[in-house]
Structure 1
Amino acid sequence: MIVVTITQTGLTVEGHAGYAKTGNDIICAAVSALAQGLAHSLSALTEDAIGYQFRDGHIDIEYENLSEEGRLLVDSFFIAVSDIQMTYGDQYVKIDTAPNGRKTEV
């Protein structure tokens, strides 16, 4: 399962969907592309200070005090990942929001 944790200061994408074998998993590919696109878009299209790290099965994006444009990009990411979750089911993608700014345990 992929767990997307969104906080006030960043987001983490952790795990693999397990929808199909490695290299053919369209859910993993979609969520990874969205997260990497978000990181690169925040960097290229805003002046927001961000940090990010990509590893197999793990993506961290950190930010603070996002501009209006940055918030729009993060909201767009959230909507797209939510659409994937609704289409394929929460056995493959779980979205965890941590409104107090702290990541919660899964």
Structure 2
Amino acid sequence: MIDITIYRNQTGKIQSFAISGHAFFAERGQDIVCAGVSAVSVGAINAVHELTGVTPDITHDPDGLLHCTLPDNLSGNVLDKVQLLLEGMVVSLQSIEETYGQNIRITFKKQEVE
């Protein structure tokens, strides 16, 4: 199963997200759930970078882990744009979860400290 955790700060803004695991919907190279999650998440990270100039801190490995954390110093218009892009990512991931709920799970956590 793909586990996705969206971490929000005390004001409800997305501060980071983590994706781990594999969907096991189909054989490697044929798994549309893994491909969809990868396309949506990497696309969102690329959009944040290209459209806002913000470079998130990214960790990834071949075992299916992707972790993305936003810089702490975002404010104003840039923060609003980044949040809109990441909220779009969440909507897309939730659409995948609605159809493939046995292969993907999204949880939301509020960070204790900002």
TM band (smaller chain)? 0.7 to 0.9
Q: Return the match for 1:74 from 75, 86, 98.
A: 86
State the TM-score, normalized to the length of structure 1.
0.86
Q: Return the match for 2:67 from 60, 65, 79.
A: 60
* Structure 1 spans left out of the alignment, 5+ residues: none
The amino acid of 1:81's aligned partner reads: L
CA contact (8 A) 1:31 1:81 kept: yes
How high is the sequence identity, in percent, across the aligned residues?
Answer: 28
Aligned equivalents of 2:20 and 2:98: distance in 1?
A: 18
Aligned equivalents of 1:76 and 1:55: distance in 2?
A: 24
CA contact (8 A) 1:4 1:13 kept: yes
State the TM-score, normalized to the length of structure 2.
0.81
Tell whether 2:110 aligns with 1:99: yes
Root-mean-square deviation (CA, aligned residues, Å) is: 1.6
The structure number with the bigger radius of gyration is 2
Q: Return the match for 1:84 from 78, 81, 96.
A: 96
The amino acid of 2:90's aligned partner reads: F
Per-residue Cα deviation, 1:71-93 (whole angstroms, up to 9, x for no partner): 0011000000000000122x200
Partner residue, 2:6 = 6
The amino acid of 1:4's aligned partner reads: I
Deviates more, 1:54-63 or 1:72-81: 54-63
The amino acid of 2:111's aligned partner reads: N
